[in-house]
Amino acid sequence: MRIATWNVNSIRARSGRVVDWLVREDVDVLAMQEIKCKPEQFPIEAFEAAGYELAIHGLNQWNGVAIASRVGLDDVETEFPGMPGFQKGHEGPDLPREARAIAATVDGVRAWSLYVPNGRSLADPHYVYKLDWLAALTEHTRAETAAHPERPFTLMGDFNIAPFDEDNGDPAVIEGATTHVSPAERTAFAELTGAGVTDVVRPLVPEGYTYWDYKQLKFPRNEGLRIDFVLGSDAFADVVTSASIHRNERKGDAPSDHVPVLVELDLDSGGDDDVPMIFG
């Protein structure tokens, strides 16, 4: 199975590009972020014509996540336990949840498409929200991977954190002093990746960014950030056979500011390549 994640920055502005890429790369499952529309506004026909069904979670023009699949789409959820909400100018435990998470089971794999809050600035309430959101995600990940160790589990999406110094090639993003690279965000990411999932792309693709700002020739200068990840449980990581960051999708007409990240799985291997199969 070929499974990918892509912050599309408005699916209505980019459905042609996205579906063309899915077909060209023979992708089975795509986790999308920042669709920026409600389900009734989503260009479903373009995906269905290419053989994909959809699970969509969008409330308004902000955020929005979806999963496209041609290998089934079951048990859809649009929030994880403890997922905090946010409302500008308001505080408290019961604020409305934003459209930042959707999960589905695809060919036996439990997959989340996630758009982690941006944080805005280190002094902004949105930054606290970001850290709280990640902490709740960490607890859910710990519980899910412990409860179902044999089921491949993945968190895919735009995490809005550059976990290591080499993930930041943008001089405007200052280590420790702006969002995406602050110690607290990096600690939150480290705790997530210590809670039963690991980055399955980095060992296979050690270098490269996944996002470049539209402004200031950031892409031609290659001043980007690596902030889009595929994290997988042991049962997921054990069946990964290849991974790639599709930098060329930042080129050409009307690109998203993010590029897709693709992983190939061999779900038939069972992840026990070193254990001989015994027949009869």
**CA dihedral angle for residue 260, residue 264, residue 265, residue 266, rounded to 10 degrees:** 170
Q: To which residue do tokens 């990918």 refer?
A: 4
Question: What are 104's two structure tokens?
Answer: 């589905």
Q: Looking at 72-80, 184-192, 233-241, 251-259, which segment touches DNA (CB under 7 A)?
A: 251-259
Q: Looking at 48-56, 72-80, 119-127, 269-277, which segment touches DNA (CB under 7 A)?
A: 119-127
90 binds DNA (CB under 7 A): no
Q: Are 240 and 203 in contact (CB under 8 A)?
A: no
Residue 117: Cβ-neighbour burial (10 angstroms; 0-12, 13-18, 19+): buried
**C-beta of 53 vs 124, nearer to DNA:** 124
**C-beta of 98 vs 199, nearer to DNA:** 98
**C-beta of 69 vs 160, nearer to DNA:** 160
Least distance in Å: CB of 90 to DNA? 12
Residues 6+ apart with CB under 8 A from 223: 169, 170, 171, 172, 212, 213, 216
Q: Looking at 49-57, 67-75, 182-190, 212-220, which segment touches DNA (CB under 7 A)?
A: 212-220
Least distance in Å: CB of 30 to DNA? 17
Touching DNA, residues 60-89 (CB under 7 A): 61-63, 88
DSSP H or E segment with residue 245: strand 240-245
160 binds DNA (CB under 7 A): yes
β-strand 198-199 against 228-232: which pairing, if any?
antiparallel
Q: Are 66 and 55 in contact (CB under 8 A)?
A: yes
130 binds DNA (CB under 7 A): no
Task: Residue 144: name the closest of 237, 235, 271 by CA.
Answer: 235
20 binds DNA (CB under 7 A): no
Which residues contact DNA by CB under 7 A? 7, 9-10, 12-14, 34, 36-37, 41, 61-63, 88, 117-118, 120-121, 126, 158, 160, 172-173, 178-180, 211, 213-216, 225, 227, 254, 257-258
